[in-house]
Structure 1
Amino acid sequence: MNRLRTCVIAGASATLAAALLSVAPSPASPESSAAWEPKDPDLTTPWTSDVSPDNALPEYPRPQLRRDEWKNLNGLWEFAAAAEGDAPPVGEQLDERVLVPYPIESALSGIKRHEDRMFYRRTFSVPRKWQVTRRHGNRLLLHFGAVDYDARVWINGELATEHRGGYDHFTVDATDHLRAGARQEVIVGVTDVTDGLKQPVGKQRIPAIENPGGIFYTPASGIWQTVWMEPVRAAHVENVTATTRRNLRQVDVRVDAEAASKHTVRLQARRRGRVVATATGRPGEPIRLTIRRPDLWSPDHPNLYDLRVSLHERSGRRVDTVDSYFGMRTVDTVLGKDGKRHIVLNGEPTFVNSTLDQGYWPDGIYTAPTDEGLAFDLKAHKRLGFNAVRKHIKVEPDRWYYWADRLGLMVWQDMPALQNGRTPDPDQAARDQFEDELHTMLDQHGGWTSIIGWVPFNEGWGEWNREETGRIADSVKAADPTRLVNAHSGVNCCDSEGDSGRGDIIDWHQYTGPAAPSPTADRAAIDGEHGGYGLVVDDHLWPGEPGAYQMAESKQELTDLYVENQTRMLELSRKCGLSGGIYTQITDVETEVNGFFTYDRKVSKMFRDPVREINEKLSHSGNLGQTPPDPDDGTPGLEGIHRWTLDDGSGTTAADSVGDADLAVADGATWTEGKSGQALDLGGTGYAETDSPVIDTEGGFSVSAWVRLDETGGGFQTAVSQDGDSSSAFFLQYDGGANKFAFSTLGGRAYAGQEAEPGRWYHLVGVRDAATGTYTLYVDGQQQGQISQCLGDPSSGPLAVGRAKFNGENVDFLGGAVDDVRVYDRPLGDGEVTDLYEGGGAHH
């Protein structure tokens, strides 16, 4: 592979910001371009009509390493579908026209279909003033922002490079492939089978083209970021990385340079046009800048410094100059007075208040139609009061991070995921490639000020081993100790192999949530995804059936749901020390209609003022939490505050032998022989419930029952739960997928260590300890799994035996029997649970 690492530092001042908005002259078009025309998009954005072959993303594409001389090669290229093994069409004119850099599935590309294999072709000229000749010693670099997925590049019929990876940039030194004359030919051959290989694809799925729906979307194949070229000397700067030291007064700058082992690097830092620091050093070694009274970067004050980097020969002659920029900031976790870890920015406790940003566009798919469009989503975050964004399993063009630096948004950067599911697990070659692309992402984006954390895995997608996930998280931290590592976003969810215990962050997903994982002495905690409230806006919909995690009927209802959800998050920040939350999502994406904006960015779906008000409170809430008060001792003894022996044997009522909350037995439940005496046989359809809540599920409590399953496997079966407004506050249940018992909340499950067997009685106890923020499962008197959740989920409805509630529906009916159900208003201790089990279920 031929990879050129581009500049990775952080931030941008007004001087450089203005320069970065400049554009190159309109690129030359390929022969016979008149046949091209864009396809009709299913939705247009406010910028769709601004796109043409003469202005396809004309802005300078590499804001952190800028030279004056460059030429944009975006615009019309020739295009043809290809078959495996086809030779490059050297010197041949291709039949179709494609607008680069829009992926071929997009309307803006002019193709709007998927191809597994394809060729791009165009000619270009090298300006004479660049003096790219052996005599002058200059080199011509041809840069590709990103090509999905396997790319081969021929220049004048000669294979110049091969590159694998759909999210990182690469460079070709074209000098030795140039020929005499004004016109040069470049051909790019691309293979992107998307669903056919275990390659990093994020949310891309080929079936979404014809059958859009759900959480996977239209793929983005071929060239999808800017193609451009520039002249350089043989000795030239390749990469600049600036790292703020913990004292917040010094910055270490590393300048990597080609063919410059005997050269000297000179640095000049400016703020508002005034020189504030200079330094000299060697390429490849840290060069320290000391800045008195530094202006630190933060979301409230996104201060940036210009940086001029020059490369000099021993004689002092300058051979290269690049303009860059950086921001001064640190990010870390600290141990609070509560003995738990919390995120700090520049040493100050900071709640990282974010949305999920997936970076999809109805007209350009993976590629924003214009730079103004690219900036729109980030500017919207700021208008809505957010201070952060999670870039969800996609890597963006450099200008996206430039806008985040400039506007002041912290960024969680995901690694694009392998396909979800484990059928089969990725083979060794796919695993190695995944890790290679992960570390390339770190190398190429490791200096943006805005990026505060790396996320290698999401919800177990493509994960193959929990220990390997921990090892990979350690490797990321070793490669970049200056940022946070979130080893596994949504570790409680979906295809997850379980918590490796590594990294700086514990991250749960919960819809609609929010999730409430407890920070520990080793790791801070965040909610990695929550919310997902949806609203259908007619005439702004992608083809297919719109959906969301919970639908609203009006703009006002959607706003109210959001404010209520974020108010709960504010409570988690203040009471539990939760360090961040990520709301799904900034815009609708295809048929997912849970955005603040419609997919076409034309309609704002919530009222801005109440949204901004709660977000501002959350963004400035800090995250140090508070020490929880000592809980009440509760009612002593093992009888509990309610007990249903279920010895009634007939009728439609099960008496409460301790309290006054009898169970009403619903149709389908019958009486049968129990562990001791009689029991309630639920039969997979029946259940029993109280009139009202009997447990304060936000405090400490315990619930126990004897349970016998008729069959194992299948879905969930719940023995005991208590209803919340929409879903149960807890579930003492069996998970057929794992074939294990669990004590669960909407946020996570504490699993038994062994698999369950049908036909035998098990004694299950679920214990919620409010002081430690834990949910613990006991099976047959022995402690099994445990999860940490700071606050208990609220409940407002009856205790139920034999069913659960989810999204307003009764679900997870138990196929089997339940005996001797007890409820306690305190957490039971280990010894008490053992005594309760050894009582054998005796009712008298």
Structure 2
Amino acid sequence: MMRSAWADLDGTWSFRHDDADSGLGAQWHTGLPEAREITVPFPPESVASGIAEPGFHPVVWYARTITGDDLAAAGRSEPAPVVLLHFGAVDYRARVWIDGRFVGEHEGGHTPFTFDVTALVADGDSHVLVVRAEDDPHDLTQPRGKQDWREDAHAIWYRRTTGIWQTVWLEAVPATSIEHVQWLPAGLTGVDLTVRLRGRVAAGTRLRVALRFDERDEDLATIDVDVAEGATSVQVPVPVRRQRNGQAEDELTWSPEHPRLVDATVSMHDAGGCVVDAVGSYLGIRTVGVGRGAFLLNGRPYDVRSVLNQGYWPDSHLAAPSRAALRREVELIKDLGFTGCRIHQKIEDPRFLYWADRLGLLVWGETPGAYEFSATAVQRLTREWMDAVDRDASHPSIVTWVPFNESWGIQRISEDRAQQAYSRALTDLTRALDPTRPVVSNDGWEQQNSDIITVHDYEGDGAVLARTYADESARERLLAGMGPAGRRILLDGSEDLGQPVMLTEFGGIDYQPTGRRENGWGYTAAADVEDWIARITALYDGIRASTFLAGSCYTQLTDTMQETNGLLTADREPKAPIQQIRGAVLGQS
């Protein structure tokens, strides 16, 4: 959802740790004494922030002056009198003040939030914005993903990301405005649009939706409907003349090979026909699903060739080092021969998803897991996951939802009926929020009620992999017995309904081109670059020999801290010429 006027508040802020949690009593919300400087949106644990202190600091404070120039850039003028303050993500709990007056609070470290600050910035052109962020490293009920609860990173967990780690911005909008747009496919002949509105809607207000396909210089559709208070839903059809009997579908549909996007304008008009508010948007017309053991894209079987992406950078942690880096990440994944990526234990920056939409990359959206099973953990993860699905459902690149991974937070699911009920419920809740995409109930093992059956297998011998996934008999053995990690693939009582089976973690081969690091590791290790390429090729040969696997996901895209099993180094440099890696992935010499 795009408007022309907004003010970027990233950059230099004041900053303080508050290890004694004394800032509230000392009234730091009115301004930070003896503050240091931090570069937002980089977390204070990271080098890019300028703070670079990765130890335990559960409470941090930020401050920044909002200037008259900021308000002007945001578009504060008639007819846009309402000023909104947006946060892309603050980990984990945030409280916000302007000029010492409380604005609001938000819980959830990966999802966006917005406050109406109109009354607080009405007087004068200089206002002090203060943010307090609380992120208890030992609270295992917080959805945290791969963030370590130990002081130093260990095993498969990484250094923490505390506080602001996505963009902060100001935006001025009309008193009655468009708050959110969501596009969901309605087959290949239209889209379902839901528009949430902010403010009171006057009688006679109408909503206009216009779709344009610039690739062919073609206006696709324009419709007008009455506006309901709060939210309006409408189905926008693609003209029958284009899609009649399906002959022209391929000229318009989105896929990794042809990432066609349709531009959209959504506008509100008053009873006299004057524009009240308007936003720019875009969508992709495509369908995803499963059937007869296959993953279906636009109704046809599609081999998902994916790579595990931690979305972690050495100098900026969960925050990307630059906006350009997000585009380059998508380009590198495609250059390596992959059609998709599984964003692992992270709700990714929406600008990454934009480039996945625009350049053509399938994405699996996955919630960051909590590690405790309790009422508090259930409430927190469910709320944050609902917000994530709501934020990201419009992206055509996202083709699968993953609410759980490897039973994290539900470690006793094999025998605990409460944890089983939780997994089933969150899977079904995801379908209720978005019925257009497959849902994986628990990626890797111990699945029930899952649209895709997924397996994690770090076997290092390609020939063994070929036998394990050879044919229908091998499929039956795999699903009826214990999986590669000694965990059931399907929970007792869960039927094999012929869902597609995918190998969604494999590989993980340690190779360090600049010499071995003492704490670097992978699931297996290569002696040199020739051995590394040969091992990758053999693993993919084993997968290609399977008659039933519907897709795969290689571990992993980049080295990440102590894990040195990436195809790229942590700095995104290929460990061998890209064409060699691509050849191993695609089976091309």
Same fold (TM over 0.5): yes
2:130 aligned with 1:191 = no
2:155 aligned with 1:214 = yes
The whole-number CA distance in structure 2 between the counterparts of 1:137 and 1:309 is: 17
- Select 1:353's aligned residue among 260, 281, 305: 305
1:538 equivalent in structure 2: 514
Q: CA deviation at 1:92?
A: 4.3
Change (3 A) 1:306 1:94: farther
The whole-number CA distance in structure 2 between the counterparts of 1:413 and 1:483 is: 11
Q: CA deviation at 1:481?
A: 0.8
- What TM-score, normalized by structure 2, do the two folds share? 0.85
- Select 1:327's aligned residue among 280, 284, 294: 284
**The residue matched to 2:308 in structure 1 has which SS?**
strand
The whole-number CA distance in structure 2 between the counterparts of 1:117 and 1:399 is: 28
**The residue matched to 1:560 in structure 2 has which SS?**
helix
Asked if 2 retains the 8 angstrom alpha-carbon contact of 1:132 and 1:175, the reply is no
Asked if 2 retains the 8 angstrom alpha-carbon contact of 1:377 and 1:586, the reply is no
Which amino acid is the alignment partner of residue 458 of structure 1? Answer: N
- Select 1:84's aligned residue among 6, 17, 21: 21
Q: CA deviation at 1:614?
A: 5.1
2:377 equivalent in structure 1: 430
Asked if 2 retains the 8 angstrom alpha-carbon contact of 1:78 and 1:94, the reply is no
- Select 1:121's aligned residue among 51, 63, 73: 63
Unaligned 5+ runs, structure 2: 243-247, 413-418, 470-474, 480-495
The whole-number CA distance in structure 1 between the counterparts of 2:164 and 2:376 is: 24
2:94 aligned with 1:151 = yes
Change (3 A) 1:544 1:279: farther
**The residue matched to 2:497 in structure 1 has which SS?**
coil
Asked if 1 retains the 8 angstrom alpha-carbon contact of 2:16 and 2:32, the reply is no
Which amino acid is the alignment partner of residue 485 of structure 1? Answer: V
Identity %: 34
Q: CA deviation at 1:430?
A: 1.7
Q: CA deviation at 1:240?
A: 1.1
- Select 1:226's aligned residue among 156, 167, 170: 167
Change (3 A) 1:181 1:559: same
The whole-number CA distance in structure 2 between the counterparts of 1:377 and 1:136 is: 39
Q: CA deviation at 1:260?
A: 5.1
2:407 equivalent in structure 1: 460
Which amino acid is the alignment partner of residue 118 of structure 1? Answer: V
Change (3 A) 1:485 1:129: closer
The whole-number CA distance in structure 1 between the counterparts of 2:456 and 2:80 is: 55
2:221 equivalent in structure 1: 277
Change (3 A) 1:137 1:447: closer
After TM superposition, the structure 1 = structure 2 runs for residues 433-452 of structure 1, keeping only pairs within 5 Å, are 433-452=380-399
Does 284-293 or 96-105 show the bigger shift?
284-293
Asked if 1 retains the 8 angstrom alpha-carbon contact of 2:207 and 2:266, the reply is yes
Asked if 2 retains the 8 angstrom alpha-carbon contact of 1:302 and 1:405, the reply is yes
- Select 2:4's aligned residue among 58, 63, 68: 68
Asked if 2 retains the 8 angstrom alpha-carbon contact of 1:255 and 1:265, the reply is no
Q: CA deviation at 1:288?
A: 1.4
Which amino acid is the alignment partner of residue 609 of structure 1? Answer: Q
After TM superposition, the structure 1 = structure 2 runs for residues 620-659 of structure 1, keeping only pairs within 5 Å, are none
Asked if 2 retains the 8 angstrom alpha-carbon contact of 1:208 and 1:217, the reply is no
Asked if 2 retains the 8 angstrom alpha-carbon contact of 1:299 and 1:408, the reply is yes
Change (3 A) 1:459 1:260: same
- Select 1:286's aligned residue among 234, 251, 271: 234
Which amino acid is the alignment partner of residue 102 of structure 1? Answer: F
The whole-number CA distance in structure 2 between the counterparts of 1:99 and 1:230 is: 21
**The residue matched to 1:485 in structure 2 has which SS?**
coil
Cα shift readout 1:263-308 (whole Å, capped 9, x = no counterpart)? 2111111112432221122352123132424511001111111111
The whole-number CA distance in structure 2 between the counterparts of 1:489 and 1:217 is: 20
Cα shift readout 1:345-386 (whole Å, capped 9, x = no counterpart)? 001101111010001101101111112212222211111111
Change (3 A) 1:597 1:509: same
The whole-number CA distance in structure 2 between the counterparts of 1:512 and 1:441 is: 33
Q: CA deviation at 1:436?
A: 1.1
Q: CA deviation at 1:447?
A: 1.1
Q: CA deviation at 1:466?
A: 2.0
Which amino acid is the alignment partner of residue 223 of structure 2? Answer: A
The whole-number CA distance in structure 1 between the counterparts of 2:421 and 2:31 is: 52
The CA RMSD measured in Å over matched residues stands at: 2.1
Q: CA deviation at 1:601?
A: 1.6
Change (3 A) 1:312 1:617: farther
The whole-number CA distance in structure 2 between the counterparts of 1:131 and 1:527 is: 49
2:450 aligned with 1:503 = yes
2:535 aligned with 1:581 = no
1:523 equivalent in structure 2: 499
- Select 2:367's aligned residue among 415, 422, 445: 415
The whole-number CA distance in structure 1 between the counterparts of 2:73 and 2:320 is: 33
Which amino acid is the alignment partner of residue 285 of structure 1? Answer: S
- What TM-score, normalized by structure 1, do the two folds share? 0.60
2:429 equivalent in structure 1: 475
The count of corresponding residues between Structure 1 and Structure 2 is 527
Q: CA deviation at 1:123?
A: 0.6
Q: CA deviation at 1:616?
A: 4.1
1:316 equivalent in structure 2: 273
**The residue matched to 1:199 in structure 2 has which SS?**
coil
Cα shift readout 1:424-470 (whole Å, capped 9, x = no counterpart)? x4321121111111111111111110001111111111116123212
2:125 aligned with 1:168 = no
Which amino acid is the alignment partner of residue 66 of structure 1? Answer: M
Does 176-185 or 392-401 show the bigger shift?
176-185
Between the two structures, name the one with larger relative contact order (CA 8 Å, sep ≥ 6): 2
1:200 equivalent in structure 2: 143
Change (3 A) 1:348 1:128: closer
The whole-number CA distance in structure 2 between the counterparts of 1:530 and 1:311 is: 49
- Select 2:51's aligned residue among 111, 115, 119: 111
Which amino acid is the alignment partner of residue 341 of structure 2? Answer: V
Cα shift readout 1:596-618 (whole Å, capped 9, x = no counterpart)? 1111123x123433542454469
**The residue matched to 1:528 in structure 2 has which SS?**
strand
The whole-number CA distance in structure 1 between the counterparts of 2:331 and 2:128 is: 40
2:578 equivalent in structure 1: 608
Asked if 2 retains the 8 angstrom alpha-carbon contact of 1:504 and 1:522, the reply is no
Which amino acid is the alignment partner of residue 466 of structure 1? Answer: Q
Q: CA deviation at 1:68?
A: 0.6
Which amino acid is the alignment partner of residue 299 of structure 1? Answer: P
Asked if 2 retains the 8 angstrom alpha-carbon contact of 1:213 and 1:545, the reply is no
Cα shift readout 1:782-829 (whole Å, capped 9, x = no counterpart)? xxxxxxxxxxxxxxxxxxxxxxxxxxxxxxxxxxxxxxxxxxxxxxxx
**The residue matched to 2:124 in structure 1 has which SS?**
coil
The whole-number CA distance in structure 2 between the counterparts of 1:252 and 1:614 is: 41
Cα shift readout 1:636-680 (whole Å, capped 9, x = no counterpart)? xxxxxxxxxxxxxxxxxxxxxxxxxxxxxxxxxxxxxxxxxxxxx
- Select 2:317's aligned residue among 351, 365, 377: 365
The whole-number CA distance in structure 1 between the counterparts of 2:538 and 2:575 is: 16
The whole-number CA distance in structure 1 between the counterparts of 2:75 and 2:389 is: 34
Asked if 2 retains the 8 angstrom alpha-carbon contact of 1:156 and 1:179, the reply is no
The whole-number CA distance in structure 1 between the counterparts of 2:82 and 2:190 is: 35
**The residue matched to 1:489 in structure 2 has which SS?**
coil
Which amino acid is the alignment partner of residue 532 of structure 2? Answer: L
**The residue matched to 2:150 in structure 1 has which SS?**
helix
Which amino acid is the alignment partner of residue 117 of structure 1? Answer: V
The whole-number CA distance in structure 1 between the counterparts of 2:79 and 2:224 is: 27
Q: CA deviation at 1:206?
A: 4.4
Q: CA deviation at 1:395?
A: 0.9
